[in-house]
């Protein structure tokens, strides 16, 4: 088969101050192929794509589209070249319909007639097999529907080079399969698709070719056919790696945290937790799976004393005093004063767990600075703790006085997890602790959690990667739409089973039923 | 493709983030900006006022430092401005936008003047002095804590609230003036015999001492105390503060008490040590200038002293130089002050970023 070059980058570099985001990257994308860009976090994938999409301007190098050198100085220029990017965070107007969002910003001199646009949108959707209702408003849509709108938006503008930045991060396994089917249809239509991801099995299942970046540099590209997860990882990391999580059998299992009938509403009065009950046990990792925004965050914050509860109880069994403490309606300070050893690694690391502008020492003392009656703070012990954590967890930092926002994602997380573990907790809650971390850092975190489990801590792990949840946890609590939809044994369950449970809440259940009947009609 | 993109050249320049600059280079840029600003001001003075531009330049300096009286006044104004700047630091560091320093100063002025009027001769001087200080500090604190309580409990907008409190304070001053100025003139004669003693016979020494002590105290408070630590955490991220169990409401209220108390103290200096009376404009807009000083110094008390000096030097120098050139209204000195601040603030951009111009050689094209 003859291949036409759709896009080519030659010696493209981009710097942010001292930081090299991309250095002399050469990249070729052919017409009618799906190219996966693979790389650890901070390897410059998104920066590189942003330069094609007109968000950044390259400091050095040239970009060729269909053989001609072009300058892409704005997203507008990118569209003129037929390049469209679907960003990780959607950029849609909530109160507009799908079609209105799609046409927003299109300036083709034509008269704006909504019925025509609706028809065009429907036409595009039918061509590639999207399910989209042009008249539906964005705020009524699920995450996957919003993503569909973003993709159609780009197609509507006539893009034939599409860039998708981690499109599957917010999707269930079933939705991911549907997305991939659509991508393959677009490919057959002659479009070039670039997909950024760090999930290896997805790379293997959808792409034709894989280009690997490491530390901002282009390492090479391989045909997907001949690649394996291990060979791609080695390209990405640059050396041999072990991808095994050692899961020990739970020992000395006792109920540590008994949660019954939690109800809670968010600020707008929307019910976020609906009758949630579960038990977290010592010496065990309890995974929490669910589509993003199903109530995971509210659940952990409720236990940590940061969320007002409508009803329900959170009972903590103190292993030392053998007493039961109800944590409901207590502030974080009261919880600590009751002697409850609860550590919490929140999802929002720099917005909640740490203070980005403070150095490592000052972040160490966030939890402990109150100790003692002195008017002044004691920075000696936090400094020692900071040094210990830097050494033991191999935090890459210029020093203890570096503001944590300057550290890379993995190192930020090591600092946070290190601090929370240093408080020798009896319950350790971690929300998405490996989000955005590279493979090595991820495994460091998994090992830390495993070690806590072996020490008899009740670990609650909220995760998004189902493969990891299945490999790491002992039991998995699945929530959908604020309800517990199931608790499964991680050793015997499958991804599909969890995926189905994730979407089992009432409203989404209906959509599923609809899809099934539609599928039947097609056959 | 026959669209516009094809023929375009590389843009003339684009902006790039700098690698972190060594401190001396950053200060060299700032100093350079000040110098350039002065030169531009001189050229403008030559254009608009006629005369020798360099005469303007030198009279800026002589206006600021020319005689010992001028130096004393400079030090006095510098001290007062620095005190107000230090007072706004805790609130701003907490991201509580306190625009009410003027009103808090006036509250202190009212309390001090009231003591001077009603207690002079009633209590021994030493007691009077202490009461003047204490009442001014309390008045300033009360004026600041009212918006703080509303913010903490009902999450009202503190910028508007504190701003409005300024007008109420000015109204109160006007009211007390009609009460106290019995001759109907609306101005109060200095109550000389109730004023705080002049150290060394000069009125700049007491403010200067207060400013020096406050600078050190504020540095220690913000950096080494638990209060200061809590203020930083609340200011950086309220979520983090809640997560670690800091009582945000308590911190907001406590910090504004400190902030307002220091403004009240400045009011005591103004009414009790310098003027001996009160007027609606006694704050001289310092509450706003102080915000600029604090921001320019990134809330570092030592650098704030430098910035306060720059501000006062420019204001006084420009005013004097304009008078020398025969300008009687305040428009020209305001222009000069504006130019200088523009340069000083704009140069921060060049410390953070650099411009990368299109390279001359056109590389590797067919």
Q: Kindly report the average pLDDT of chain B as a whole number.
A: 87
In 3-state terms, what secondary structure has residue A443? Answer: helix
pLDDT classification of B42: cutoffs 50, 70, 90? confident
When pLDDT is averaged across residues A306-315 and rounded to a whole number, the result is 91
Residues whose CB is less than 8 angstroms from the CB of residue A390 and which lie 6 or more positions away in sequence, other chains included: A360, A397, A400
Structure tokens at B363: 């590389």
Residues whose CB is less than 8 angstroms from the CB of residue A519 and which lie 6 or more positions away in sequence, other chains included: none
Q: Which residues of B touch A81 (CB under 8 A)?
A: 1, 5
Q: What is the pLDDT of residue A352?
A: 92
- pLDDT at residue A517 is higher than 60: no
Which helix (H) or strand (E) element contains residue A381?
helix A380-392
CA distance A228 to A233: 9
CA distance A328 to B104: 42
Which helix (H) or strand (E) element contains residue A202?
helix A200-206
Of chain B residues 236-265, which have a CB less than 8 A from chain A? Answer: 236-237, 239-240, 242-245, 247
Q: How far is CA A65 from the centre of its chain?
A: 31
Q: Is the sign of the CA dihedral A363, A367, A371, A374 positive or negative?
A: positive
CB contact under 8 A, A336 and B18: no
**CA distance, residue A295 to nearest chain B CA (Å):** 18
**B14 at interface of A, judged by CB pairs closer than 8 A:** yes
Nearest to B17 among A16, A351, A374 (CB): A16
Q: Which residues of B touch A305 (CB under 8 A)?
A: 245
Structure tokens at A176: 């991911």
Of chain B residues 206-225, which have a CB less than 8 A from chain A? Answer: 224-225
Q: Which residues of A touch B11 (CB under 8 A)?
A: 57, 71, 73
pLDDT tens by residue, A7-50: 999 999 988 777 788 999 999 999 999 999 988 777 888 889 99
**B8 at interface of A, judged by CB pairs closer than 8 A:** yes
CB contact under 8 A, B239 and A348: yes
Q: Which residues of B touch A77 (CB under 8 A)?
A: 5
**B184 at interface of A, judged by CB pairs closer than 8 A:** no
CA distance B307 to B340: 12
Nearest alpha-carbon partner for B162 in B298, B308, B287:
B287
Intra-chain end-to-end CA distance of chain A, in Å: 32
Q: Are A81 and A69 in contact (CB under 8 A)?
A: no
Pick the CATH number of B76-307 from 1.10.3470.10, 3.40.50.1970, 3.40.50.300, 1.25.40.10: 1.10.3470.10
Question: What domains lie within chain A, and their CATH numbers?
Answer: 5-237 (3.40.50.300), 246-341+424-523 (3.40.50.300), 362-423 (no CATH)
In 3-state terms, what secondary structure has residue A428? Answer: strand
Nearest alpha-carbon partner for B44 in B24, B62, B60:
B60
State the residue for tokens 């809640």: B242
Q: Between A175 and B131, whose confidence is greater?
A: B131
Predicted structure pTM score: 0.78
Q: Rg (Cα) of chain B, in Å, rounded?
A: 24
**B6 at interface of A, judged by CB pairs closer than 8 A:** yes
pLDDT classification of A507: cutoffs 50, 70, 90? very low
pLDDT tens by residue, A87-108: 877 888 989 999 999 988 777 7
> Percent of chain A having pLDDT more than 90?
41
Task: Give the phi and the psi of residue A465 in degrees, each rounded to 5.
Answer: -85, 110
Q: Cite the beta strand spans of A17-66 per DSSP E.
A: 19-30, 34-38, 60-65
User: In chain A, whose CA is at the least distance from the CA of B241?
Assistant: A352
| DSSP character at residue A491 | T
Q: Which residues of B touch A16 (CB under 8 A)?
A: 17
pLDDT tens by residue, A438-487: 777 888 889 999 999 999 999 999 998 888 899 999 999 999 888 999 99
**Residue A178: C-alpha distances to residues A128, A164, B266 (Å):** 11, 15, 69
**B300 at interface of A, judged by CB pairs closer than 8 A:** no
Three-state SS string over A80-145 comes to: HCCEEEECCCCCCCCCCEHHHHHHCCCCCCCCCCHHHHHHHHHHHHHHHCCCCCCCCEHHHCCHHH
Structure tokens at B73: 């006044």
Per the DSSP assignment, residues forming a β-bridge with A213 are: A218
The CA-CA-CA angle for residues A435, A439, A441, to 5°, reads 70
Nearest to A80 among B5, B18, B243 (CB): B5
Task: Give the phi and the psi of residue A425 in degrees, each rounded to 5.
Answer: -80, 165
**Residue A514: C-alpha distances to residues A422, A502, A505, A520, B60 (Å):** 50, 17, 14, 10, 80
User: In chain B, whose CA is at the least distance from the CA of A66?
Assistant: B1
- pLDDT at residue B107 is higher than 50: yes
pLDDT tens by residue, B149-202: 999 999 999 999 999 999 999 999 999 999 998 887 778 888 888 888 888 888
- pLDDT at residue A386 is higher than 90: yes
Q: What is the pLDDT of residue A523?
A: 38
Nearest to A306 among B20, B233, B242 (CB): B242
- pLDDT at residue A388 is higher than 90: yes
CB contact under 8 A, B226 and A71: no
pLDDT classification of A515: cutoffs 50, 70, 90? very low
CB contact under 8 A, B5 and A72: yes
pLDDT tens by residue, B69-97: 999 999 999 999 999 999 999 999 999 99
Q: What is the pLDDT of residue B127?
A: 94
Highest-pLDDT range among A246-255, A395-404, A483-492, B357-366:
A483-492
Highest-pLDDT range among A207-216, A390-399, B126-135:
B126-135
CA distance B283 to B167: 12
Q: What is the pLDDT of residue A243?
A: 67
Q: What is the pLDDT of residue A442?
A: 85
Alpha-helix residue ranges (DSSP H) falling in chain B: 23-49, 53-65, 68-93, 101-119, 125-154, 158-180, 205-224, 226-236, 238-243, 248-268, 286-296, 301-324, 331-352
Q: Is the sign of the CA dihedral B343, B345, B348, B350 positive or negative?
A: negative
The number of beta carbons lying within 10 Å of the beta carbon of residue B49 is 17
Structure tokens at A427: 């319950």
Nearest alpha-carbon partner for A288 in A200, A347, A354:
A347
**B12 at interface of A, judged by CB pairs closer than 8 A:** no
Q: Are B288 and B84 in contact (CB under 8 A)?
A: no
Q: What is the pLDDT of residue A16?
A: 78
Q: What is the pLDDT of residue A74?
A: 87
pLDDT tens by residue, A391-412: 988 888 888 998 998 887 778 9
User: In chain B, whose CA is at the least distance from the CA of A302?
Assistant: B243
Q: What is the pLDDT of residue B155?
A: 92
**B364 at interface of A, judged by CB pairs closer than 8 A:** yes
Q: Are A159 and A83 in contact (CB under 8 A)?
A: yes
When pLDDT is averaged across residues A109-128 and rounded to a whole number, the result is 85
CB contact under 8 A, A17 and B17: yes
CB contact under 8 A, B8 and A71: yes
pLDDT classification of A505: cutoffs 50, 70, 90? low
CA distance B226 to B297: 23
Structure tokens at A369: 């600075």
Q: What is the pLDDT of residue A511?
A: 42
Q: How far is CA B299 from the centre of its chain?
A: 11
Domain boundaries, chain B: 76-307
Nearest to A375 among B9, B225, B240 (CB): B225
Q: What is the pLDDT of residue A218?
A: 92
Q: Are B81 and B311 in contact (CB under 8 A)?
A: yes
**B5 at interface of A, judged by CB pairs closer than 8 A:** yes
Q: What is the pLDDT of residue B356?
A: 73
When pLDDT is averaged across residues A135-139 and rounded to a whole number, the result is 90
Nearest alpha-carbon partner for A480 in A510, A458, A509, A452:
A509
């Amino acid at each position: 088969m003859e291949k036409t070059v759709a896009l080519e980058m030659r010696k493209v570099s981009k710097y942010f101050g001292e930081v090299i985001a991309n250095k002399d990257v050469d990249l070729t994308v052919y017409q009618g192929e799906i190219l996966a860009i693979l790389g650890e976090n901070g390897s410059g994938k998104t920066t590189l794509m942003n330069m094609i999409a007109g968000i950044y301007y390259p400091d050095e190098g040239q970009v060729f589209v269909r053989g001609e050198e072009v300058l892409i100085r704005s997203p507008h220029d990118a569209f003129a070249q037929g390049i469209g990017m679907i960003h990780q965070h959607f950029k849609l107007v909530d109160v507009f319909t799908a079609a209105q969002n799609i046409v927003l910003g299109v300036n083709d001199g034509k008269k704006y007639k909504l019925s025509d646009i609706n028809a065009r949108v429907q036409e595009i959707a039918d061509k590639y097999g999207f399910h989209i209702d042009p008249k539906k408003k964005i705020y009524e849509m699920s995450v996957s529907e919003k993503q569909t709108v973003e993709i159609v938006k780009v197609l509507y503008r006539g893009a034939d080079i599409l860039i998708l930045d981690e499109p599957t991060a917010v999707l269930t396994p079933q939705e991911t399969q549907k997305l991939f089917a659509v991508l393959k249809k677009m490919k057959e239509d002659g479009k070039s698709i670039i997909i950024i991801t760090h999930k290896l099995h997805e790379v293997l299942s959808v792409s034709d070719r894989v280009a690997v970046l490491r530390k901002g540099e282009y390492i090479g590209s391989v045909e997907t056919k001949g690649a394996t997860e291990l060979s791609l990882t080695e390209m990405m990391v640059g050396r041999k790696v072990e991808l095994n999580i050692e899961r020990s059998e739970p020992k000395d299992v006792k109920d540590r945290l008994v949660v019954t009938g939690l109800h809670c509403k968010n600020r707008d009065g929307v019910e976020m937790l609906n009758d949630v009950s579960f038990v977290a046990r010592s010496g065990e990792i309890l995974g929490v799976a669910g589509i993003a925004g199903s109530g995971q965050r509210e659940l952990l914050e409720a236990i940590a004393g940061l969320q007002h509860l409508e009803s329900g109880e959170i009972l903590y069994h103190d292993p030392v005093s053998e007493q039961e403490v109800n944590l409901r309606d207590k502030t974080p300070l009261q919880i600590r004063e009751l002697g409850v050893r609860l550590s919490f690694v929140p999802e929002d690391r720099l917005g909640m767990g740490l203070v980005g502008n403070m150095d490592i020492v000052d972040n160490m003392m966030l939890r402990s600075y109150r100790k003692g009656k002195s008017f002044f703070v004691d920075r000696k012990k936090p400094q020692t703790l900071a040094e210990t954590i830097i050494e033991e967890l191999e935090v890459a930092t210029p020093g203890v006085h570096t503001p944590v926002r300057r550290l890379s994602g993995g190192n930020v997380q090591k600092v946070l997890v290190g601090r929370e573990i240093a408080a020798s907790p009896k319950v350790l809650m971690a929300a998405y602790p490996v989000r955005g971390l590279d493979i090595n850092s991820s495994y460091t975190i998994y090992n830390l959690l495993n070690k806590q489990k072996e020490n008899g801590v009740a670990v609650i792990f909220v995760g998004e990667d189902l493969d990891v949840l299945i490999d790491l946890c002992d039991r998995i609590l699945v929530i959908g739409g604020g309800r517990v939809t199931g608790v499964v044994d991680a050793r015997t369950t499958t991804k599909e089973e969890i995926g189905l449970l994730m979407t089992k809440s009432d409203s989404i259940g209906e959509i599923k039923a609809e899809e099934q009947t539609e599928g039947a009609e097609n056959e | 493709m026959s669209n516009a993109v094809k023929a375009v050249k590389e843009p003339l320049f684009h902006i790039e983030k700098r690698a972190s600059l060594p401190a001396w280079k950053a200060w060299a840029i700032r100093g350079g900006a000040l110098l350039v600003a002065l030169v531009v001001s001189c050229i403008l003075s030559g254009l608009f006022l006629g005369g020798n531009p360099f005469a303007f330049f030198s009279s800026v300096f002589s206006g600021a430092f020319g005689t010992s009286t001028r130096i004393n006044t400079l030090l006095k104004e510098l001290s007062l401005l620095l005190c107000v700047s230090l007072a706004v630091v805790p609130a701003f560091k907490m991201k509580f936008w306190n625009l009410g320093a003027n009103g808090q100063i006036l509250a202190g002025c009212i309390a001090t003047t009231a003591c001077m009027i009603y207690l002079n001769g009633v209590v021994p001087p030493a007691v009077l002095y202490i009461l003047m200080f204490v009442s001014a500090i309390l008045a300033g604190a009360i004026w600041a804590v009212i918006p703080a309580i509303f913010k903490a409990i009902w999450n009202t907008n503190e910028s508007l609230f504190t701003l409005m409190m300024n007008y109420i304070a000015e109204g109160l001053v006007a009211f007390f003036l009609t009460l106290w100025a019995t001759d109907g003139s609306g101005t109060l004669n200095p109550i000389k015999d109730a004023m705080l003693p002049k150290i060394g016979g000069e009125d700049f020494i007491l403010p200067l001492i207060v400013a020096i002590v406050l600078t050190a105290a504020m540095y220690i408070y913000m950096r080494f105390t638990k209060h200061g630590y809590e203020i930083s955490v609340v200011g950086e991220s309220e979520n983090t503060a809640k997560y670690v169990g800091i009582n945000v409401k308590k911190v907001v209220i406590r910090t504004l008490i400190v902030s307002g108390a220091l403004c009240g103290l400045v009011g005591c200096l103004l009414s009790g040590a310098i003027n001996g009376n009160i007027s609606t404009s006694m704050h001289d807009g310092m509450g706003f200038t102080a915000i600029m000083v604090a921001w320019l110094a990134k809330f570092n008390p030592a650098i704030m002293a430098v910035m306060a000096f720059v501000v006062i030097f420019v204001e006084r120098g420009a005013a004097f130089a304009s008078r020398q050139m025969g300008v009687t209204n305040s428009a020209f000195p305001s222009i000069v002050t504006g130019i200088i601040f523009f340069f000083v603030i704009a140069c921060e951009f060049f410390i953070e970023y650099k411009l990368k111009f299109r390279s001359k050689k056109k590389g590797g094209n067919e």
